[in-house]
Homo-oligomer: A and B are copies of this chain.
Amino acid sequence: MLVRGDREYLVKPGEEFGTDLGVLEVPEDVDPGETLETHLGDEFRVRRLRGPDLFHHFERTGAPMVPRDVGLVLGETGVSTGDRVLDAGTGTGVLSAFVARAGATVVTYERNADFAEVARENMALAGVADRVEVRTGDVADDLESLVASEDPFDVLTLDTGDAPTVVERAPELLLEGGFVAVYSPFVEASREVVETAREVGLSDVRTRETIQREMDFDDRGSRPSTAPVGHTGYLTVARNE
C-alpha cells in the first residue's frame, strides 16, 4: 500500500507514521484512490503498491535486482500462481517479493542476520509476509534437509556465490520440468554454474547477457541514448528434464 503527495511512502494498513507534513493514520480497510489527511490537514492519496515501487521503497541491504532482471527471471522461468520457489540469497528481497506477488510461495535464505531482518520487514511492507519465509542462514548448509523433508520446488532462483553447490542438487530439489535461474555479474561464476548444470544433467542450459539502450526522441530525431544502462549480470537458466 503506497501513499503519496509529491512524496511517496510505503505504509502498511493500520499503521501510523510521521512525515514532515504531520502524522498520518492509515486505516486497516483503506482503499486505493482514497485521500487521507495528516493531523495538520495535508492530503495524501492512497495507491496500490506496484512491483516497480519495491525497487524504490524497500530498505536496501545491497544493490537490489533491477526490474528488468526480475522480469527476465519471471519470463524465463514462468513463475506463477501456486508455484513453490526456493531463493538464495535474499538481499533486499525485491525478487522474492515480485515472485510472491505473482502468486508463488517462497523460501529464501539470507546469510546475514541483519539483512534477513530487513528483508522480513520489506516483505511485510510488500504485503507478502505470509508467502515469503526468510530463513537466516546459508542455503548450502540446508540442502540435505531441503531434499529430504520438503516437497520439490517449481523454481530455484539463485543470486549467491554458492550457486554451483545448489545447482548440483537441482535435480533433487526441483520438480520435473522445473527451472533454475542463476544471476551473476561475472563470467567465471556463470561458467561454473553452466558446467555444474551440464554435469548433473539439466537441459536447455543457457547463459545470456542483456544489454538495454534507452531511446531518445527529441526534435532533432530519434536515437539510442548516449547514456545507456550498464551491465548488471549474466542470467543462466536451466531446466530439470
Contact of A207 among B53, B71, B177, B215 (CB under 8 A): B215
Given A189-B221, A195-B217, A230-B226, the answer on whether A68 and B76 have CB atoms closer than 8 Å is yes
Residue of B nearest to A80 (CB): B101
Q: Which of A68, A154, A179, A231 has the most CB of B within 10 A?
A: A231
Q: What 0/1 readout, one digit per residue, does chain A (214-241) give for beta carbons within 8 Å of chain B?
A: 1101001111111111111010000000
Residues 92-110 of A at the B interface (beta carbon under 8 Å): 98, 101-103
CB-CB nearest in chain B for A32:
B175
| Interface residue tally for chain A (C-beta within 8 Å) | 70
Contact A227 to B230, CB < 8 A, known contacts A75-B98, A210-B210, A217-B194: yes
A70: CB under 8 A from chain B? yes
Check A122 for interface membership: any CB of B closer than 8 A.
Answer: no
Whole-angstrom distance from the CB of A12 to the nearest CB of chain B? 17
Question: What residue of chain B has the Cβ atom nearest to residue A224's Cβ?
Answer: B231
| Copies of this chain | 4
| Contact residues, A171-230 vs B (CB, 8 A) | 175-179, 185-191, 194-195, 206-215, 217, 220-230
Q: Which of A14-22, A43-51, A139-147 contacts B (4 or more CB under 8 A)?
A: A43-51
- Assess whether A123 is interfacial by the CB under 8 Å rule: no
Q: Is A79 an interface residue (CB 8 A)?
A: yes
A74 to B67: give the CA distance in the assembly, Å. Answer: 9
Q: How far is the CA of A177 from the CA of B1 in the complex (A)?
A: 11
CA A98 to CA B81, docked complex, whole Å: 10
Return chain B residues, CB-CB under 8 Å to A213: 208-209, 211, 231
Residue numbers in B under 8 Å from A209 (CB-CB): 212-213, 215, 224
A55 to chain B, nearest CB (A): 9
**A133 in contact (CB, < 8 A):** no
